[in-house]
Amino acid sequence: INSLNNLKRHLKTIGFPIISLLANMAKAPPLISFLLFSAAVLLTFPAAISSIGVNYGTLGNLPPPTQVANFLKTQTSIDSVKIFNVDPNILRAFAGTGISVVVTVPNGDIPALANGMQARRWVSANILPFHPQTKIKYISVGNEILLTGDNNTISKLLPAMRTINSALVRAGVRDVKVTTAHSLNIIAYDLHGAPSRGRFRPVWEKNILAPILSFHRQTKSPFMVNPYPYFGFDPKNVNFAIFRSPYKAVRDPFTRKIYTNMYDALMDSTYSAMKALGYGDVNIVVGETGWPSACDAPWCSPANAAWFNLNIIRRAQGQGTPLMPKRRFETYIFGLFNEESKPGPTAERNWGLFRSDFSPVYDVGLLRGGGRGRPAPALPAPSTAGKWCVAKSGATNAQLQANIDWVCSQGGVDCKPIQAGGSCFNPSSLRMHASFVMNAYFQKNGRSDGSCHFSGTGVVVRSNPSDGACKF
């Protein structure tokens, strides 16, 4: 029941009001091809990605914090983590690593922390023993508090933020900023559904969010939001949610800006709501976003999750949105690990970039030097597994080429056999070449049906598609 309620909560957060309206507006044809877009991503990514954080959840049989901290420091370019508590073992593990940490005040502690003395005690117990050896960057006072509907906690949220900030200043700690993470249910969309007309819900706008934004401006702390296209996208326009082509683009009738993906629309709706209150200058931090690599529907796959997060990383590197073209969003991807102990639907356990043995679920360029962490368990030989992934007969040449480009850009799949002189170059068929690399990706990812989805262009077969010297 709790899992179902949690799912309903997220569906209400951002989903159906804006998605249905965006779908009705989706009249523009695709503006760029997948090939051009993927080429642009590959050409503009820096060799070493920085300023990318991850949410570090702990619900599972996961390695101890000391191993996690060492892995992130030595084998990845991830430079910050966000945790959902103030676990002293985690804080100690990250001491001296140079990796910054965002800690979270448990929601239930907020009413008490509105008292100045309690806030000072909390800072003394949870921040001062660890900082600055551990680079605590932000304190998130609760997580998605407005979504809880608990009026007592909501009324104490800003007072607790103020008292904790005052306690930090009193203790001489001026480099730790105080914020709180918001679900995007804080946004109310008008009948046009245009990002430029995004506004905060009236029940919270003037009495809750305007004072919080004023606090952020005064303390130079960020407004933290959790934009999740996954929760509430239009199943008929999945590609719009995951940055893939072809998609139904959206035109804002008021700004005439074109939106090629849902994430930008959500971010610009948030910015428009802030600007309408006079706080468009306050910095925005993305506290959570991501896409599951497996769920109980076909749109979850390692390929889709990787493509979504590659584009999220691109925006964190400075691409911006139609209304914020020069903004760089500090971003925390959800999440670091697949958390196998999470209850609820399959998706709840499959948000991670890495498995518990540090092997990547998929590659988005965050591993140093092409390293793979600890090797994943060896897969059985394809010839005895009886499952292969091939291109569907209805897939277009553009889709087939896009699949080739994407798989070969990921690393870990040998695409040399389909190149001139390779064992699978002849017959020189785009469909054969695409099937070969799609199958290689499928085998590499454990032959899960989701890893053969390829936006609906792949199909799992039981007969070996090998052709002469070209062995699948």
Residues with active-site annotation: 144, 288
Give CA–CA dist 55/44, Å, rounded. 25
Report the number of secondary-structure helices (H) and strands (E) in the chain.
Answer: 17, 14
DSSP-assigned beta bridge partners for residue 103: 139
CB atoms within 10 A of CB 219: 17
**Which residue type occupies 284?**
I
Give CA–CA dist 387/100, Å, rounded. 44
Give CA–CA dist 458/372, Å, rounded. 26
Output the CA–CA distances (angstroms, integers) from residue 1 to 114, 144, 150, in the order listed: 32, 20, 19
Distance of CA 344 to the CA centre of its chain: 19
359's CB contacts (< 8 A; 6+ apart) are 372, 373, 374, 375, 376
262's CB contacts (< 8 A; 6+ apart) are 19, 22, 229, 233, 240, 241
Question: String of b and e for 449-467 (b: at least 16 CB within 10 Å)?
Answer: ebbbbbbebbbbbeeebee
72, two tokens: 């992130």
**Tokens 């925390």 sit at which residue?**
332
141, two tokens: 């006072």
Among 213, 229, 291, which Cα is nearest to 266's? 229
Give CA–CA dist 188/256, Å, rounded. 21
User: 3-state class of 27 per DSSP?
Assistant: coil
Burial class (CB in 10 A: 0-12, 13-18, 19+), 297: middle
CB-CB contact of 472 with 442 (8 Å): no
Give CA–CA dist 380/94, Å, rounded. 37
